[in-house]
């Protein structure tokens, strides 16, 4: 039983490290690759939970995470990055060190919060929830600190990774909900893509700082 915990702890910890790598990276293709790696680790973690807790429907979730978020979404974003011509771009991330320190604070916050709130729950669920909350907060932090619309999309997707991790550690969502979440993320990707190309058409850049100076009534 202890090795069951060890492996799931290991995979969840790796996902957390991947979240920090997302905060650290400033090359856009490297960010994308890190995101794909995180999704694949998520798939492994979910598959491990399915095997350990003997809940076969989680294998479908794992498969969805592996196929959609490990390959389909990164490939779509990859094409998008090349179409936008920003694949060589090095993003100006202000204060990587400070951001990561802030991220550490968020991890500490989510650990202490979740551990206090879930006393008495089974250990795998507590563990999953604590790390999931940390990943969600780190994804939010990434969306705040980035100025490029595409990396903000990746931040959003990594939030969803955290959600799935939390859901599998706990009692679990019904399968219908999980599948619909997975596909709604896919839909969200299309919406984002259309939106990003519109921004690009309008302002000749995907830097969201350009949006700040927009006045709706002019022009």
Residues at the site binding another protein, with contacts judged by CB under 8 A = 2-3, 5-7, 9-10, 13-14, 16-17, 20, 24, 96-97, 100-101, 103-104, 107-108, 111, 115, 123, 126-127, 130-131
Instruction: Please enumerate in sequence order all residues whose Cβ is within 8 A of that of 31, keeping only pairs 6 or more positions apart, or say none.
Output: 22, 25, 151, 154
CA distances from 88 to 26, 30, 84, 85, 159 (A): 11, 10, 11, 8, 25
> Judged by CB, which is closer to another protein: 101, or 209?
101
d(CA 81, CA 87): 6
CB atoms within 10 A of CB 126: 18
> Judged by CB, which is closer to another protein: 14, or 40?
14
Shortest CB 12 distance to another protein, Å: 8
> Judged by CB, which is closer to another protein: 8, or 151?
8
Shortest CB 93 distance to another protein, Å: 10
> Judged by CB, which is closer to another protein: 84, or 130?
130
Q: Name the 3-class secondary structure at 199.
A: helix
Shortest CB 134 distance to another protein, Å: 9
d(CA 89, CA 99): 20
111 close to 134: Cβ distance less than 8 angstroms: yes
> Judged by CB, which is closer to another protein: 106, or 153?
106
Shortest CB 91 distance to another protein, Å: 14
Shortest CB 72 distance to another protein, Å: 28
- Which two three-digit tokens encode residue 213? 């100076």
- Which two three-digit tokens encode residue 211? 């949006």
């Amino acid at each position: 039983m202890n090795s069951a915990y060890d492996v799931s702890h290991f995979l969840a910890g790796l996902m957390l490290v991947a979240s920090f790598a997302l905060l650290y990276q400033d090359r856009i293709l490297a960010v994308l690759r890190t995101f794909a790696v995180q999704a694949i680790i998520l798939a492994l973690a979910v598959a491990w939970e399915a095997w350990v807790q003997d809940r076969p429907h989680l294998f479908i979730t794992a498969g969805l995470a592996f196929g959609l978020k490990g390959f389909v979404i990164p490939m779509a974003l990859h094409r998008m990055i090349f179409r936008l011509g920003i694949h060589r771009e090095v993003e100006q991330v202000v204060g990587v060190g400070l951001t990561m320190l802030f991220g550490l604070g968020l991890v500490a916050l989510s650990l202490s919060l979740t551990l206090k709130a879930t006393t008495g729950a089974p250990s795998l669920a507590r563990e999953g929830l604590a790390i999931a909350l940390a990943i969600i907060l780190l994804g939010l932090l990434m969306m705040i600190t980035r100025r490029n619309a595409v990396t903000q999309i990746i931040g959003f997707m990594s939030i969803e990774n955290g959600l799935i991790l939390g859901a599998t550690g706990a009692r679990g969502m019904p399968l219908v909900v999980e599948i619909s979440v997975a596909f709604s993320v896919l839909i969200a990707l299309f919406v984002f893509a259309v939106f990003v190309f519109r921004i690009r058409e309008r302002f000749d850049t995907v830097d969201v700082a350009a949006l700040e100076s927009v006045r709706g009534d002019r022009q």
